[in-house]
Amino acid sequence: TSLRAGNETTDVMVLRYKSKRHQRDIDPDSLWIGVTTSLYSGDYEQTQSKFFEIWLKGESGRIHIDLGKISEDMDGNGQLNTEDIPGAGLSLGNGFLEDAEDTGLDGCFDETEDGWGGCLESGTYNDYLISGETDIINASSDIDSQDPNGDNWNYDQNNFNDYTQVNGTEGNGTGSKIQEGGKYPDTEDLDRSTFLDKTNDYFSTQFMLTDTTYLAGETEKNGEPTGWRLFRVPLSDFKQVKNIEWNEIRYVRLAITGLDSVQKHLEIAKMEIVGNEWQEMGIVGLDISHFDTSGFFGRHFGNIYGMNDEDDDPTFQVAVINTEDNTDYTPPKGVKGEYDRLNEIRSKEQSLVLKFDHLPSKATGIAQKTLYT
């Protein structure tokens, strides 16, 4: 997507959510929906990155962002759920979806689903429903007896705005209508490592969608806000959960809490973990009589300040501001982005921002950019 190129079309992920009937008595803050994706191995290293950026549209609920090593075990059963059933004497399947395997990740077809997300050991859902059983099966009125676990796939090209079953994993690779890419078995193994990752070590942060603390920009059309907003969260604001380093960012998980009986939706257009060619080197004090002078910067400038949670601690950050993401930014007079004559578009004009607060007398914030030949 490029506003500069006049291209206002992009693929948007839409999360639609509300509580189910049997969850209505549960605290909304305890209910959540979420999505997880794996990163390519070349993206694991984020030591030099500075921000997590996300373009989204929606104002209901609290968003949770987790970066790191995140369990692929969606249902918590400790086993790798996959449609790719190994043949006799084999530990892995053949990588192709057979008709009898297209059950979805729950491992069973509709008639033996229990409505809780699992499978019945015997009998069928309708048998238990007719008998009045309400413990073994979920008999809530919002459960479809033809698809108790709600995992069937369907998408009608003639009703292209209906995406209610587009994420289903049962029936997406067989029958008369096949999902693009659906002929491959569905699996919990997001990174295709052939085994189930169950580690939960990550960095985490959260904020209300109505909170403007991390709001970095928003788009307008004809002078009116479109509802699309850019949130830029410093990685330094993420809290460490268990044992994780910034060179081990294998997964990203987004979760929304605050669900109630009214359906809400959140649209997400883009997510990035971003850095800057300018690297923050820290804050140094020139008055060497007051500070430890060990190390390179100590020998030349004085002590490098450590950071803690006090509000009056010195801070120094490097950021950027530009004409594409920040509608309130006015470039310096006479300064414009480069013009591409071939594509007839002008690149965004961007400025470096040095943000500092509570710097003591004679203290210096230092940023460095390495030039290459």
**Residue range 4-16, pLDDT digits in tens:** 545 557 888 999 8
Q: Cβ(236)–Cβ(104) under 8 Å?
A: no
Please identify every stretch of the chain with a pLDDT value under 50, giving residue numbers as ranges. 1, 5, 288-309
Q: Which amino acid is at 181?
A: G
What does the pLDDT look like over 234-293, one tens digit per residue?
A: 999 999 999 999 999 999 999 999 888 888 889 999 999 988 788 888 888 755 434 333
- Exposed, middle or buried by CB within 10 Å (0-12, 13-18, 19+), for 173? buried
Stretch(es) of the chain classified as CATH 2.60.120: 13-70+199-274
Distance CA 69, CA 196 (A): 12
The three-state secondary structure class of 295 is helix
Among residues 204, 217, 264, the alpha carbon closest in space to that of 65 is found at: 204
pTM of the model: 0.76
Q: What is the dihedral of CA 50, 53, 59, 65, to 10 degrees?
A: -70
Q: What pLDDT is recorded for position 205?
A: 97
Cβ atoms of 200 and 244 within 8 Å: the answer is no
CATH: 1.20.120, 3.30.310, 2.60.120, 2.40.50. Which one for 13-70+199-274? 2.60.120
Tokens of 301: 């400038």
- What pLDDT is stored for residue 24 in this prediction? 83
* Distance (Å, whole) CA 179 – CA 156: 11
Rg (CA), the chain: 26
Q: How far apart are CA 220 and CA 284, in angstroms?
A: 41
255 strand-pairing partners: 34, 64
Q: CA 241, CA 69: separation in Å to the nearest integer?
A: 10
- CA dist 208 and 186 (Å) reads 33
Angle at 187 between CA 95 and CA 267, to 5 degrees: 130
Q: Which of 271, 281, 371 minimizes the C-alpha distance to 43?
A: 271
